[in-house]
Structure 1
C-alpha cells in the first residue's frame, strides 16, 4: 500500500499527465467554464452604502435608528428631505436670505422635485414678517420688500427661539444679526416605491439649482451620499487601473520578454477575475470598496504563479529537454508548491471570515474562492495552453523572442540574490537570533497601531490630492461634496455628534417617579461625562425642556411647581398633563427628547473634549447602566468605537487563525511529502517576521487599522508564504540532488529567486498604485499590500536562507543519528 507521500506524488503525476497528454481538452473545458462564469459577472451588484453594512445588527446602531425615527432633530437628514447648507460672511443678510428663497422657489416650481415644504432661517423670517406668505415666491417678495430695520428686529426676536437658533451657525450674533452658516431643510413628498437612485436624482437636481443660484449653498442628503458612494469606486478604479495596467504590463514584459508568453499570462489573469466575479454574482455577494482588494490579491498571486511556471519551464528547456518533458519536470516540481501556496493563501485570505463585520467576511470568502480559481487556472490551464501554443509555434515557425530564465548564477541579479546566503552560511544561528530580536521588537512596537472607522474614510478628502486635477478625461473623477459638508456641519453648528453621546431610554415616562429616576441617573457620572457644574453632567433632556419652558411661561411654571412634591424642581406626579402642556406649546423642543407616546426618551450628554473615543464610549456604556429603565448609549462616537473594536478584533483574530492554520498545514504537508515536518515552521518563520515588520511600519507611518487595512495582517500570511514555499520547494529539490546546502541555496536564489524578484517588483508597483485612489482606505490598502509583498520577498531571500541552513544541520544530525540507531 502506498504511503501518503507516494499517493500525493502519484496524484501529481496523474494531473501532470492530463496536462501533457490532453492539453486541448483541458483548455476547452476551462473556456466553457469561463463562459458560464461570465454570465455570473452580469449579476454582480454594487454595494454603495459604505458604512451601513458595518453597523448592521449593532445594538448601538439600533438605538440610534430608533432615535432618528421617533424624535425630531433639525440635524437629522431623513429619506424625505434635503438639507441646504448655506455658508458666507453673513447668511442672515437680506441678499443672502433672498438667495435661499430663490433656490426654494425654483425647487417648488418643479413638480418632479416633489417639494412639500421647507424650514430654514429665510422661510422663518419671512413668515414672522407676514404669516400669510406660505409659498417660497411669496416669502421671497416679503423679504425683498422688508427694510433693514424690520429684518434686524425680526431676527433679534427669533434669536431667542431654540428652533431658529438651532439651524444657525454657532457664531450667530443676535444683537447685530449675523452668522456664517445656516441650514434650510427642503421636505419632499415621495411615494413609498422611491428607491435610492430616485432619491439621488431628486437631490442632485436640487443641488444643481443651488449651485446655479449661489455657489455658497450646497445640497446635502442621503441621495447625494448614495450617489457619491456609488461613483467613488468607479472613479477610483478609473484613476488607478490605467496606472496599474501600465506598470504591470511594463514589468511583465520585462519578466516574460516574449509577447506570446505575456499574452498567455494576461489571459490567465483575466480568466481568474472572470471566474471570481462570476462566483460573486451567482452567490449574491455584492461588490463594495472592500471587494476592490480581491482582484488586487488575485493579480498578486496569479502573477507569481504565472512567472514561476513559465520561468521554470524555460529553465528545463534551456537544459535541452523537449517541451513535454520540460513541462512534466517543471509542473512536477511546482505543483506541490502551488498546492501549498493555495491552501495557505486560502487560510490567509479566508481567515477574515471570522470577522463580525459582514463586508470583511465577504471579502474573505471572495478572496479565498478566488485563490482556488487562481490555482486551477495557473496550475492546469496555463501549462496546457503553453504546450498548445509552443506546438503551434514550432509547426508554423513562429520565432521565440527571448525564452531565457529571468536570472542565473552568472547574471548580475543572480549574484546579488545569492549574497545573503553566502553571508549567513557562516553563522546562521546568530543571524536568526538577530532577526528574531528585530522582528519581536517591531511586533511589540506595532501593537500600538491605531484603529479607526469613519465615513470620511470611504470618500475623497475635502482637499483633493495634487494629482487629481491633472487627471485627463475620461478618467477624471466627479465632484464630491459630502466630506466638505460634513466638516462644515461639525465646524459651524452645535451638531457635532462626536462631542456628545446619547442615552436612549425606554419608558414608560408617565409614571410619577420617571423624571426623578432620569435625573438621579446622572448623580455620579464617569470622568468623561463630568463636565457640568460641580462635576455633574451637562445634558439636554425632557427635564431641561421643562425647565426652559417654565422660565418662559409663568402658568406652566406654576403647574410644575404644584406637581413637585420633593421640591427639587422636577415634577413627580401628573406627568401626563405636564407633557400635554409642554407639547402643545410651539416654542420649545420637547419633541426632540420625548416621544409622543411617552414610551422613550433621549438624553444628550456633552463629553469632555480631552476624552478619547474609547474612553467616552466605555463611560457611556457604563453610565447607561445607572438608569432605572432599559437604556442604551449611542451616537456616532459610540457606534464608531464599537466598530473600531470589532475591526481590531478582526485583524488579530484573522492573523492568529491564519498563522495557526498555516502552521498546522505546513507541518503536516511537509511531514507527508518530505517526511520533514520541521520545514513547515521554517517556512512560516520568515513570514511571521515580515508581518511584524509590516505592523511596526504601519504604526511608524501612522497608518491605522481601518475597515480595509484590518484585513492586511491575515492577507500578508497568504501572500508571503507563496515566496517562502517556492524558495523552500526549490531548495529541497536541489538539496536532494547535491547534498550541499550552500550550493542548493545559491542555485535556488539565482533561479527561483529571480522569478520571485520579478513577481515582487510587478506586484508591489502594481498594487502600490492603489495609493492614487481618491479614497483614503484604498490608498492605504494598496501601500500596505505593496509593503507586505516587498517584506515577504526580502524575508524569503534574506531571512529564510539562514533558517534553512540551520535546518540542514539539524537534518544531517538527525539522519546521522538514525544511521547509528537503526529502526528509528
Structure 2
C-alpha cells in the first residue's frame, strides 16, 4: 500500500537524509524557547468559567458584597488544637500573631478579626491596640475571661470564627480562625508572595497554626503540578529507557528514538507557549501520551526497517520501502488520533478544550518527526556506521525468526483458524454485558480530586531530594474548616431572586415558598432552614425598640414578618448596626435578594442540584439556584456530556475517515470498518472496569474515551495495514495473519509494554486524579493490544469468507 505522496516523501528521505535531519533540529532549536513561555494555570477555576451557575454566583458575590469585599483579599490563620482554642494561652497566641502581622508593613494588614479581639473588647472596651488587648486577656481572672466569652457568644461574627463545637457555658472550642484583610488587589500576583510571608510570620509564633488563603491555594496548586512532574517524568524515563533499550538493543537506535521523543515534546509545548496556551493539570498527561504514540512509531519504523535489511536489501531500498508503507499507516493513525483528541474541543470546559488542541498539535508533530525525521536520521546514521566501520549490535526484529515471542503471537490466530464465528459471537456477548454494566459509571467534579492526600504516601520518602514533593497545607486546612466550623458553602445553596421586594407580600412569599421543602434540604418545623433578609430584620428588631415597633406596626398578621411599608422597614434596618448584614441579602434598589438554604450533608450533589433547580420555580420573579454544590454538579454534567459527545463524534468521524482512506488507498473500505470494531470492545471493557474500581468520569478521566480511540486506532491500523500488504503475496489469509502477528505484533508488543509501564508511572503522582488517569490509560493500552490481536484475526477471516 505505497501511495504516491508517501513514495515521493520516502525518496526524499533516502535521497537527502542529512539535510532533512538538520532542518528538523533547527526547527527544534527555534521552538524550544516557547516551552519557557508557557504559564501555569493551576486550580479548578478554569473548569467552572463556562458554567452558568458559576456566573450566577459571581453576580451574587458582586451584588451582595460580603464583609470582606472582593478587592480586599483575606488570609485565614487556623488555630486547630486538641486543647481549648479559647483558653487564655490560645487567645494570647492569636493576638501575638496579629501583632506580628501588623508590625510587618509589607503585609499591608488593614483589618483583623479574631475571637481573641472580640473577647478582649468585652473585657476592656477601651483597649485599642493589639498589645492592650493582649494585656486585657492575660490580666483577666478566669471567671472574667469566661464571662467575656459568654458575652461574645451573642456576636454572630464571633460564632462564625470559632468551631461548631463551641460551648458558651464551658468557654471552649476546638478550633478558631483569625482573619486578616490586606490592602492589595485580590487578583494581584503579589498575593502569593504576601501569604508566603504571612506563613513565615505565623510559624515564627507557633508552627501548629495553619495559614489559608487564595494565594496559598494557588501556590500549592502550582507546586502540585511541578512536584507531580518531578516524580512521574524521572520514573517514566527510567522505565521507558530500560524497555526501549531491550526493544532496540542498539544504543545508536536508542539515541535516535529518544531524540525524536524529546523533539516531539519540545515542538508541542513550544508552539503552545508561543500561542499563549497555559499549562494546567490536564496537560501533565500530554507528554506521557506523546511518549506512548512516539514510542510506537519509533519501534515500528526501526523494526520494519530491520526486517528489510535482514532480507539482504540495501539501506536506501530498505528505508524507502519501510517509510513509504509506514507513512501511510502513520497518516491513518495520526489523522484518526487527531480526530479523537480534537473531539474534546467541542467541550464547554476550557481545560478540556485546551487538552484537545495541544494533543492534536502533538500528534501532527509526532507524525512529522517519526515519519520523516527518524527514518532520515536512521539512513544518515547507518551510512556513517558503514563508512566508519562502527561496531554492529543486535539488529534483528523483536519477534523475528523462531523466537518464543513470535510463536506466542502466532497463537492469537488459533481462534481465527478454528472457529472464528463462534469466537466473535462470544466476544459480542461479552462486549454487550460490559457496555451495559459500564453505562452506570459515575461522573464527579470535586476540588479534592486535584489535591494531594493530607498525609503523603510512604513511597515518596524513598525518592532522592530533587524528587521529594513540597509540604502541603491546603488539604489539611480544607479538612479542618469543613470538619470544625459551621456549615459553609459545601452545605448550602444560594438562590438569587430578582423581584420587587417592596411589594407588601414580598417577605411573606419568601416564607411560604420554603414550606414543604425537598428531601435534600434541611427542614425545621416543616420549612427549609434558610438565611435571608428576614435575619437582619429580626436581629435589628430585637436590639432596637424603635425598629421593633416599626416592624410590629406593619405586621398585620402578628407573625413577626412585616407585610406593608417594607421600604421604610428596609431603610431603618440598613441604617442600623445590622446594615452591613442586610446588604448581604438585599440590594439598595430592593430589586434583588439572596436566600441561602441549608442542605443535608449526606445528600448527593446530584440530588441537591435536581431539587434546587425544581425549587426555584416556586418563586415569583427570576430565580436562579447556584452555589458550589450546584456548580460542581453542573461541571460534572458537562464532563459527562463531553465524554459521550467526544466519543461518538470521534468514532463516527474516524469511521468515515478510515473507510474513505482505505477505499482510496486499497479499494477495501471494509478494512477501515474492521479497524474500529476492536476499539468499541476496548471502550466497553474500560468503562466496566471503571465502575468495578469505583473510578468516575472526572475532569481528566473524561478524556479517556477519546484517548482510547486514539491509542486503539494505533494498534488496529498497524494490524490491518500490515495484513493488507502481506495478503498481496498469498491467497491464504491465515498465513498473512500469522506473518502480521509475528512482524507488526512484535513491534506492538514492545510498544504496549513500554507505554503501559511508562504511563503506569502516573499512579505515583501525588494527586488522585493523575493516578487514576495513569491506571486507566495503561488499561486502555492493554485492552487495545489484546482486542487488536485477538479479534482482528477472526474478523479478517470472516471478512475474507464473505468476500468469497
Q: Structures share a fold, TM > 0.5?
A: yes
Distance 1:490 1:451 in 2: 23
**Alignment correspondent of 1:817:** none
**Alignment correspondent of 1:284:** 276
**Alignment correspondent of 1:176:** 170
> Given that residues 74 and 167 in structure 1 are in contact (C-alpha distance below 8 angstroms), is that contact kept between their aligned partners in structure 2?
no
**Alignment correspondent of 1:425:** 417
**Alignment correspondent of 1:560:** 551
Query: Would you say 1:258 and 2:213 are equivalent positions?
Result: no
Q: CA deviation at 1:252?
A: 0.4
Say what the alpha-carbon RMSD is for the aligned residues: 1.8
**Alignment correspondent of 1:270:** 262
**Alignment correspondent of 2:125:** 131
**Alignment correspondent of 1:412:** 404
> Given that residues 420 and 795 in structure 2 are in contact (C-alpha distance below 8 angstroms), is that contact kept between their aligned partners in structure 1?
yes
Distance 1:630 1:612 in 2: 26
**Alignment correspondent of 1:582:** 573
Alignment of 1:63-462 (within 5 A): 63-71=56-64, 73=66, 79-88=72-81, 89-190=83-184, 192=185, 196-462=188-454
**Alignment correspondent of 2:698:** 706
Runs of 5+ consecutive residues of structure 2 not aligned to the other structure: none
Query: Would you say 1:636 and 2:628 are equivalent positions?
Result: yes
TM-score after normalising by structure 1:
0.94
What's the secondary structure of 2:648's corresponding residue? Answer: helix
**Alignment correspondent of 2:530:** 539
**Alignment correspondent of 1:527:** 519
> Given that residues 74 and 213 in structure 2 are in contact (C-alpha distance below 8 angstroms), is that contact kept between their aligned partners in structure 1?
yes
> Given that residues 9 and 324 in structure 2 are in contact (C-alpha distance below 8 angstroms), is that contact kept between their aligned partners in structure 1?
no
> Given that residues 409 and 746 in structure 1 are in contact (C-alpha distance below 8 angstroms), is that contact kept between their aligned partners in structure 2?
no
Query: Residue by residue, what CA displacement relative to the aligned partner does 1:180-218 show, whole Å, maximum 9, x if unpaired?
Result: 01111101122x4x7543101111111222223223321
> Given that residues 764 and 789 in structure 1 are in contact (C-alpha distance below 8 angstroms), is that contact kept between their aligned partners in structure 2?
yes
Q: CA deviation at 1:549?
A: 3.9
Q: CA deviation at 1:781?
A: 1.0
Q: CA deviation at 1:592?
A: 3.4
What's the secondary structure of 2:37's corresponding residue? Answer: coil
Alignment of 1:48-63 (within 5 A): 48=42, 50-63=43-56
Q: CA deviation at 1:409?
A: 4.8
Q: CA deviation at 1:348?
A: 1.1
> Given that residues 344 and 721 in structure 1 are in contact (C-alpha distance below 8 angstroms), is that contact kept between their aligned partners in structure 2?
yes
Runs of 5+ consecutive residues of structure 1 not aligned to the other structure: 814-824
CA distance 1:10–1:763, shift in 2 (3 Å): same
Query: Would you say 1:514 and 2:506 are equivalent positions?
Result: yes
**Alignment correspondent of 1:20:** 14
Distance 2:756 2:188 in 1: 38
Distance 2:29 2:462 in 1: 39
Query: Residue by residue, what CA displacement relative to the aligned partner does 1:577-598 show, whole Å, maximum 9, x if unpaired?
Result: 3223323443684343224454
Query: Would you say 1:38 and 2:29 are equivalent positions?
Result: no
Q: CA deviation at 1:651?
A: 0.5
Q: CA deviation at 1:568?
A: 4.0
**Alignment correspondent of 2:663:** 671
> Given that residues 170 and 494 in structure 1 are in contact (C-alpha distance below 8 angstroms), is that contact kept between their aligned partners in structure 2?
yes
Distance 2:39 2:726 in 1: 49
> Given that residues 34 and 275 in structure 1 are in contact (C-alpha distance below 8 angstroms), is that contact kept between their aligned partners in structure 2?
yes
What's the secondary structure of 2:523's corresponding residue? Answer: coil
Distance 2:355 2:561 in 1: 53
Distance 1:347 1:722 in 2: 13
**Alignment correspondent of 1:768:** 760
> Given that residues 415 and 423 in structure 2 are in contact (C-alpha distance below 8 angstroms), is that contact kept between their aligned partners in structure 1?
no
Aligned residues: 802
Q: CA deviation at 1:551?
A: 4.1
**Alignment correspondent of 2:562:** 571
TM-score after normalising by structure 2:
0.97
Query: Residue by residue, what CA displacement relative to the aligned partner does 1:517-536 show, whole Å, maximum 9, x if unpaired?
Result: 333332453332362323x2
What's the secondary structure of 1:625's corresponding residue? Answer: helix
Query: Residue by residue, what CA displacement relative to the aligned partner does 1:563-621 show, whole Å, maximum 9, x if unpaired?
Result: 12344432122223322332344368434322445443211112234432112112112
What's the secondary structure of 2:328's corresponding residue? Answer: helix
Q: CA deviation at 1:24?
A: 1.9
What's the secondary structure of 1:528's corresponding residue? Answer: coil
Q: CA deviation at 1:119?
A: 0.6
